[in-house]
Amino acid sequence: MGSFQITVNGQPRVDDDVPVHLNLLDWLRGLGLTGAKEGCAEGECGACAVLVARPDGRGGSRWTSVNACLTPALALDGQELVTSEGLGSAPGPCTTEDLHPVQREMAERGGSQCGFCTPGFVCSMAAEYYRPERAPLPAAEKEAEMGENGFDLHALSGNLCRCTGYRPIKDAAYALGIPEPEDPLLERQALAAPPARRTEVRTTASTFLRPATVEELAERYAEHPDATLLAGATDVGVEVNIRHTRPRLLLAIDHLEELRSLRFAEDHVELGAAMTLSELERSLAGRIPLLAQLFPQFASRLVRNSATLGGNLGTGSPIGDSAPVLLALDASLVLFSASGERTVPLSEYFTGYRRTVRREGEFLRAVRIPLPLAETTAFYKVAKRRFDDISSVSTAFALQLEEGRISSVRIGLGGVAATPLRARAAEEALLDRPWTEETAREASVAMTSESTPMDDHRASARYRSAMLEQSMMRFFAQHRPSEHVGASR
Amino acid sequence: MSTVIHPPASTAPEGVGARTAHESAGQHVTGAALYTQDLALRDSRTLHAWPVQAPHAHARVTSLRTERARNVPGVAEVLTAEDVPGLNDSGVKHDEPLFPSEVMYYGHAVCWVLGETVDAARQGAEAVEVEYEPLPSIVTLAEAIEAESFQGARPLMARGEARAALDAAPRRFRGSFEFGGQEHFYLETHASFARVDEGGQVLVDSSTQHPTETQEIVAHVLGLASHDVTVQSLRMGGAFGGKEMQPHGLAAVAALGAVRTGRPVSLRLTRTQDITMTGKRHPFHAEWEVGFDEEGRIAALEATLTSDGGWSLDLSEPVLSRALCHIDNAYMIPNIEVRGRIARTHKTSQTAFRGFGGPQGMLVIEDILGRCAPLLGVDAGQLRRRNFYRPGERTPYGQEVRHAERLQDIWDTLAERADVARRRAEIAEFNAAHPEAKRALAMTPVKFGISFNFTAYNQAGALVHVYKDGSVLINHGGTEMGQGLHTKMRQVAATTLGVRLDRVRLAPTRTDKVPNTSATAASSGADLNGGAVKNACEQIRERLAQVAAGKFGGHPHDIRFADDAVSALGKKPIPFHDVVRDAYFQRVQLFAAGYYRTEGIHWDLAKMQGDPFKYFAYGAAASEVEVDAFTGSYRLLRTDIIHDVGDSLSPLVDIGQIEGGFVQGTGWLTLEELRWDVSEGERRGRLATQAASTYKLPSFSEMPEEFNVHLFERATESGVVYGSKAVGEPPLMLGMSVREALRTAVEAFGPGGVEVDLGCPSTPEAVFWALREVSGREPAGEGGRAEEEREEIGSGEGPGPQAARSPREAESV
């Protein structure tokens, strides 16, 4: 047994009796901090959102919103967090002056009705309020889904409200000013986030281990290949909460520096497998346009703040949104184990439904994307809902033209077979052909031939098949040769 | 960008008409507001309940063994039918066994396990050994209709000579329409927390909209009298009708557990348990035939509505009645014959959901008008407006449509404020320039009857205390689910007593304070409880006026209560609390029980005739969408609403109800999809969309990009508390404007003048197939949309079903 230490709302807490599979939400609620709520227990509704001080990569920290229902409490060992109770005033009836600016805007503008989702909204909104890059938009400039105060509405894409219809919440978000310099939570961001610490908690049935080094991880994983790797817990958390799995060994890998670096080499980029998608999005800053298209469509901000590429690929799921994009980018995976490192092309990684070539004791260290990038790229996600939904079909295109002919092409598909896959027949129909509507049409027919979509609650097989065809035509419509030539000159 | 326009605040800065934030807003945003489960966590002795859910749509329980479960560490008790001291039933119709011996739907709970922790209870539930003998099941509406599996009443609402009028109508169309239900998805799942006191009295905190009925069911399950059971509903994290009937059995299980173990028992459903065990909005099937005259006026309508009631009656009968009473929506239908029936299927027992059948009835007529307009060669908006009720006309059930002129007034004002004519021209330009995207704007009206059809429910009580220091405490029978009822009740009390808002505090809703309450439902919470609170405050005010008159030396009638003071003409006002203190010393009663009942309503259920509604709430919405040809996906560009709330009691609250209702209605019609396993496999009857990841409700991406809400002005409603009108349900139906806009946008992909069959919910997939059909790229009659068929019957010599799709041939009839 080890002791669990955490700072909640500025108050250090120690708890020697935290079960391995107790999630942060239930732990907080057990303390009497019942502001955060369980609405779904699978990271879809955001009612459980809290703020965690995470490293900002520049020596300071960043208040980051996460779903407390997904992460095991022990994964926060040594960390620091703030809940809705800790943002503003003391408990009990309070006047609006005692409230945090976010709370005040929400309360006064009718942003709460039943109030159940509100603490989570307040935390997601506070994270965006403190986002260091947020600045008022230049006058006369307008951006979709962004307030004049620079508030990015996607910050709330993982929070659901059933009462308000969202308008007052949006107005509250867009009315927020810039934090006062003496704001304690702003001041806190100037200081480093708590360092990761090695954690090992054993109970009779299960163990939580955060190894100190990648070598220790490799060693322990080799000993216990049935262990469950834990990065952002956005998938494991769902398994534990909804399907009631109880892994015997959880290996937390999210703080290991070897898995968390972004490196640009001459002929490739290496993305750390345990970097969160939000971190990747910020660090890449649009340098890989296809990934930049993917990020805002990938789950929600709350999920992206924890989820990693390693997790999205590690589960081998056929509907993960990163795989089609990475297939189109011709990515390879760097697999690490006690016996060394190897690199596998992503197109050879998936072997069947939730099965991959990953060997016992092997984990993803990084994703490698070759350079230069194809010039013409697009990612299309078809889902019922634009924010935070699982794809019925997703397609990614990367195409290179030379003098009007297609000199290279890769198309990644998700949601249409037991694994993500490359649309080889369509690629063949395109390669070395002129980029014309006729070529695109032939390729679109080929697209439907190489998948085996299913009927399910998200979409019919017939619709999925049609969407494959349509995505090719949409890609062509949006990247017609003349426009393309014009754009590249 | 969004703007909210509201009428000028009333003279009272804080009372009725003031733009007050929700009375719990401060607690909401700080996380201090407590919900039922939060209370349960504060007691370390609490046991937790977990159900054993049956994996069959229909089966007999042949054996149930609990020994293994009892041996699981941490399991305290297993509750089965044998433990019930009273009646083993959780409904009011005695058709819902609490511990069933026959499984009636996939996920039906057959027994419950109590554990020291939720995990222990769950493991205990896994260890309960149940054997089932599967029985034949009926899952879909089509199967139920085929098998004639119906339950409850089969009402008929009729006026005039529908058949004869149809035969004589120059234009006739026939069709059918099946549309889905809706999961409430209140963010707070069902929760109950029960304990027993030293005198054997049972106290149950419950997320219930209907504390009195929860109390009655708990009492009959435990074999106790009502005075032995107290139910409290502190606040709910949303309800929307889903906590009107559904909490009773869950509260009874928790109470039974508390009685059996002597310990507090918490029962909170997980999201999946909640979705798989509790009822939803009724899906409906409609078959109809409609006739129009040469001017496009509806001459007659014949329809049969079949609702999917699920396994038990629950509220299906009154829901069906309200559907029948709203199939006219805003339109005069001189000859009408509408039949209703309730299918019994092996699914959750469908129940109340915001609108309570009204939306289903209304959707049928709006769908009919949307489909027929192109065939009549009329703009759908004009067709709607042409058929509006006119002053003096009556509904099919015989009630005069009072204030019918408001329909046109609202409609025309909305068209002007939303700049509809100019935008239509812009849309036409946009559509001409964009082969791969089409925009459209549609307007739809709402007329919604307010009052419970069940007359006895139209009464309410309140208990108001004024303490010696002048502070005021209100109890009333209504529950708070986010709709702002408590906020309004404080404002009513503050205005009636003429005091500052912060003098008035609200006590939690409990059955030992105000007895025999009605469900907080049918949008009636503020009307009924507001009437009762006002009545109690008036009694106290009259007594205080006597005291003040004695002091001022005038007549009590001349005493004014305002600005936290009591005054008489020409005299210096006396602070309210001073008058209260004087009254106490003069031995004047400072508390009062208030009572209200709605006058002038009656309903003959057998004949489906009467004046069931106190009044109608009116509104209209104009929505503009853009549809993408590649995927069928769409964006809601702008919505404008004008809605009639009478004189608003609380504009911030009312606008919140309008916007929230609109988005919820739009969710039902475009996004939210309940998918049941209809195969013959092992999972037959299982709900496939049983979590937030698979059942998608609107998020930020579904709200209108521009959203303008106006309250209808000069709208005082006589005979209702401070001239206000109910607001909870009616705005939900404004969401129909979005679906009609989608239909019009789809039509724009085709040659025009073509009927658009649009599945419902109109998901991107449904829109995609509709536009494929319209643009002629796909043969008709296929696709992933609701099963539909229609044809025009042209007095014997008319064209067949295919020909009816051609506007030219339809014109020639």
The pLDDT of residue A485 is above 50 = no
Q: Which of A147, A166, A194 is the last residue of a domain?
A: A194
Q: For position B305, what pLDDT does the model report? A: 98
Size of interface A-B (CB pairs under 8 A): 251
Q: Which residues pair with B526 in a beta bridge?
A: none
CB contacts under 8 A, A 384-443 vs B, are 384-390, 392
The packing angle between helices B420-433 and B405-417, to 10°, is 50
Band (pLDDT 50/70/90 cuts) for residue B273 is very high
Domain boundary among A145, A160, A194: A194
pLDDT, tens only, A343-369: 999 999 999 999 999 999 999 999 999
CA distance B346 to B276: 12
B466-525 per-position pLDDT tens digit: 999 999 999 999 999 999 999 999 999 999 999 999 999 999 999 999 999 999 999 999
Residue type at position A111: G
Task: Judge if the upstream peptide bond of residue A372 is cis by omega within 30 degrees of 0.
Answer: yes
Burial bucket for residue B469 (CB in 10 Å: 0-12, 13-18, 19+): exposed
Chain B touched by A458 (CB under 8 Å): yes
Last residue of a domain, one of A161, A194, A227: A194
| Distance in angstroms (rounded) separating the CA atoms of residues B227 and B248 | 17
Pure H helices in A351-489: 424-430, 437-449, 461-478, 481-488
Least CB-CB distance to B631: which of A102, A153, A382? A382
User: Among the residues of B99-158, which ranges form H helices?
Assistant: 118-127, 141-147
Flag whether A295 is in a domain.
no
Q: Which of A89, A160, A473 minimises the CB distance to B699?
A: A160
**Angle, helix A167-175 to helix B651-670, in steps of 10 degrees:** 120
Interface of B with A in 691-730 (CB under 8 A): 691-694, 696-703, 707
* Separation CA A475–CA A480 (nearest Å): 8
Q: Minimal CA–CA distance to B116: which of B65, B45, B68? A: B45
* Residues of chain B with C-beta less than 8 angstroms from the C-beta of A50: none
Name the more confident of B591 and B800.
B591
Per-residue pLDDT reduced to its tens digit, B67-78: 999 999 999 999
CB B792 within 8 Å of CB B376: no
Closest residue by Cα to residue B701 from A32, A134, A154:
A154
Domain membership of residue A15 (yes or no) is: yes
Alpha helices per DSSP H over A181-243 = 184-189, 214-223, 236-242
What pLDDT was estimated at residue B94? 87
Lowest mean pLDDT among A351-355, A365-369, B126-130, B317-321: A351-355
Residues 357-396 (B) with a CB less than 8 A from some CB of A: none
Contacts of A381 in chain B (CB under 8 A): none
Residue A375 CB neighbours (<10 A): 14
Q: Establish if A481 belongs to a structural domain.
A: yes
Q: Identify the weakest region by mean pLDDT among A49-63, A79-93, B310-324.
A: A79-93
CB B50 within 8 A of CB B124: yes
Tell me, yes or no, whether A451 lies in a domain: yes
Which residues in chain A touch residue B659, judged by CB atoms under 8 angstroms apart?
164-165, 167-168
Whether A313 is in a domain gets the answer no
The angle formed by the CA atoms of residues B660, B661 and B664, to the nearest 5 degrees, is: 85
End-to-end CA, chain A: 64
pTM of the model: 0.95
User: Could you give the 3-state DSSP secondary structure of residue A207?
Assistant: strand
CATH number of B459-597: 3.30.365.10
Residue ranges of A 51-110 with Cβ closer than 8 A to chain B: 83-85, 87-89, 91-96, 99, 102-104, 106-110
Residue A403 DSSP one-character state = T
- Predicted confidence (pLDDT) per residue in A3-46, tens digit: 899 999 999 999 999 999 999 999 999 999 999 999 999 999 99
Q: How far apart are CA B764 and CA B784, in angstroms?
A: 11
Residue A264: is it exposed, middle or buried by C-beta count within 10 angstroms (0-12/13-18/19+)?
exposed
What amino acid positions of B are annotated as catalytic residues?
A: 729
A145: left (phi over 0), alpha (psi -120 to 50) or beta: left
C-beta separation of B255 from B194 below 8 A: yes
Count structural domains, chain A. 2
- Per-position b or e across B255-271, b if 16+ CB within 10 A of its CB: bbbbbbbebbbbbbbbb
B764 at A interface, C-beta within 8 A: yes
pLDDT of residue B779: 44
Residues in chain B: 813
Minimum Cα–Cα distance from B675: chain A residue: A457
C-alpha to C-alpha distance for A65 and B266, rounded to whole angstroms: 30
Chain B residues near residue A87 by CB distance under 8 angstroms: 30
Give SS3 for B791: strand
Partner residue opposite B30 with nearest CB, options A84, A113, A238:
A84
Q: Give the Cα separation of A458 and A473 in Å (integer).
A: 22
Amino acid at residue number A66 = V
**pLDDT confidence bin for A2, thresholds 50/70/90:** low
A140 pLDDT band, cuts 50/70/90, is: confident
pLDDT attached to residue A90: 52
Give the A window 290-349 contacts with B, CB below 8 Å.
none
For chain B, what are the domain ranges? Answer: 37-136+191-277, 459-597
User: What pLDDT sits at residue A74?
Assistant: 97
Q: At which residue do the structure tokens 């703030």 appear?
A: A82
> Region B670-676: what's the mean pLDDT?
97
The pLDDT score that the predictor gives to residue B785 is 33
10 Å CB burial of residue B115 (0-12, 13-18, 19+) is buried
SS (H, E, C) A284-353: HCCCCHHHHHHHHHCCCHHHHCCCEHHHHHHCCCCCCCHHHHHHHCCCEEEEEECCEEEEEEHHHCEEEC
Go through B787-811 and write b for each residue having 16 or more CB atoms within 10 A of its CB, e for each that does not.
Answer: ebebbbbbeeebbeeebbbbbebbe
Q: How confident is the model at residue A450 (pLDDT cuts 50, 70, 90)?
A: confident
CA distance A352 to A332: 18
pLDDT at A105 over 70: yes
| pLDDT (tens digit per residue) in B12-21 | 568 999 999 9
Q: How far apart are the first and last CA of chain B?
A: 47
A142 falls in which pLDDT band (50, 70, 90)?
confident
Contacts of B94 (CB under 8 A, 6+ apart): B87
- What rounded mean pLDDT belongs to chain B? 93
Q: Which domain holds residue A168?
A: 1-194
pLDDT class for A95, splitting at 50, 70, 90? low
- Cis peptide leading into A132, omega within 30 of 0? no
Tokens coding B345: 């299927």
CATH number at residue A119: 3.10.20.30
We find that the CATH architecture of domain B37-136+191-277 is Alpha-Beta Complex (3.90)
Residue A265 falls within a domain, yes or no? no
Residue B361's H or E segment, with its range, is helix B358-376
Asked, for residue A305, whether it belongs to a domain, the answer is no
CATH of residue A439's domain is 3.30.390.50
Q: Is 0.90 exceeded by the ipTM?
A: yes
In a domain? residue A200:
no
Return the pLDDT at A388. 85
The candidate with the shortest Cα–Cα distance to A99, out of A117, A111, A116, A81, is A111
Rounded CA separation B730/B619 (Å): 8
Residue B436 at interface with chain A, using a CB cutoff of 8 Å? yes
Contacts of B187 in chain A (CB under 8 A): 37, 39, 45, 47, 114, 116-117, 160-162
pLDDT at A89: 64
A389 band by pLDDT with thresholds 50, 70 and 90: confident
